[in-house]
Chain A
Amino acid sequence: EPEVTQTPSHQVTQMGQEVILRCVPISNHLYFYWYRQILGQKVEFLVSFYNNEISEKSEIFDDQFSVERPDGSNFTLKIRSTKLEDSAMYFCASSPPRSNQPQHFGDGTRLSIL
C-alpha cells in the first residue's frame, strides 16, 4: 500500500540554524499538509498546499516557515531560523483530489533544537 515517507526521522539542529524537512507524498495525491506535535500536546495544523501554492495556513506558520514542492515528488518544510520552541514532531500528510477523502500521514520527523 502506498505511503507517505519523511526524512530524516530525527534532526538535531542548533538554534538559529535553518532546517529543511522532506516528505514524499503518495503519488496520485494532490493536496499536501504539514502538522506538528509538541511533546505531550495536540497535533496542530501548520499549512496546506495545492496546485503549487499555499491554500491555508495557521497562525503558527509565520514568516520563518515556508513550503515548497521543488519537483514532482518532494514536498518540503523549511524553518529559516530555528527557535527552541520549534522542537516537535513534524508530520507530513497528503490526500487525493476528492475533498472528503482522508489525509494519510508519514511517520514524522523529530526536530530537536539545541
Chain B
Amino acid sequence: DAKTTQPPSMDCAEGRAANLPCNHSTISGNEYVYWYRQIHSQGPQYIIHGLKNNETNEMASLIITEDRKSSTLILPHATLRDTAVYYCIVRGLNNAGNNRKLIWGLGTSLAVNP
C-alpha cells in the first residue's frame, strides 16, 4: 500500500496558486518525497522531489515540514494545462539496486478552472 495520504480532489482557479497537501507520517529518515502528475492516461510526469529541505524548480515548489511527516506541492500560477492527477510518493534510498519501485496511491485530481 502507498505510504502517503492525499485528498481525492481539489479545485483551483486559473492563475492562482495550487497547494496540494500530502501526509506521510510514517516516513523514515532515508526516504525521499517524490511528486508526479498524470494528465489523462499519459505517462506519469516527474515534477519534483526532496528529502528535508524545501525545493523549487521551474515547475513547482515542494515544502516539507520540519518533522517530515507532511509536505505541500505548490504550483505558483496554475494554468488549465495543470489539470491532472498529482501523486505524492515516498521512496527509500537503496544503493543495492532493489527497493527502487514506486508505490502509487490514487493521488489528488486537481481541476484548474477558468
Count of chain A residues with Cβ under 8 Å from any Cβ of B? 31
User: Nearest chain A CB to B66's CB is how many angstroms away?
Assistant: 20
Interface bits B44-80 vs A (CB < 8 Å: 1, else 0): 1110010100000000000000000000000000000
Task: Tell me if A's interface is mostly helix, strand, loop or mixed.
Answer: strand
Which of A31, A33, A35, A42 is within 8 Å of B106, CB to CB? Answer: A42
Tell whether A55 is near chain B: CB-to-CB under 8 Å: yes
Interface bits B16-38 vs A (CB < 8 Å: 1, else 0): 00000000000000001010101
Closest to B38 in A: A43
Number of A-B contacts (CB under 8 A): 67
Task: Tell me if B's interface is mostly helix, strand, loop or mixed.
Answer: loop
Interface bits B95-114 vs A (CB < 8 Å: 1, else 0): 10111111111100000000
Decide: A102 near B101, CB < 8 A? Known: A89-B41, A108-B41: no
The 3 closest A-B pairs by CB, nearest first: A105-B43, A43-B104, A45-B101
A-B contact pairs, 12 of them (CB 8 A): A33-B100, A42-B105, A43-B87, A43-B104, A55-B100, A91-B43, A99-B93, A99-B100, A102-B49, A103-B100, A108-B41, A110-B41
Chain B interfacial positions (CB closer than 8 Å to A)? 32, 34, 36, 38, 41-46, 49, 51, 87, 93-95, 97-106
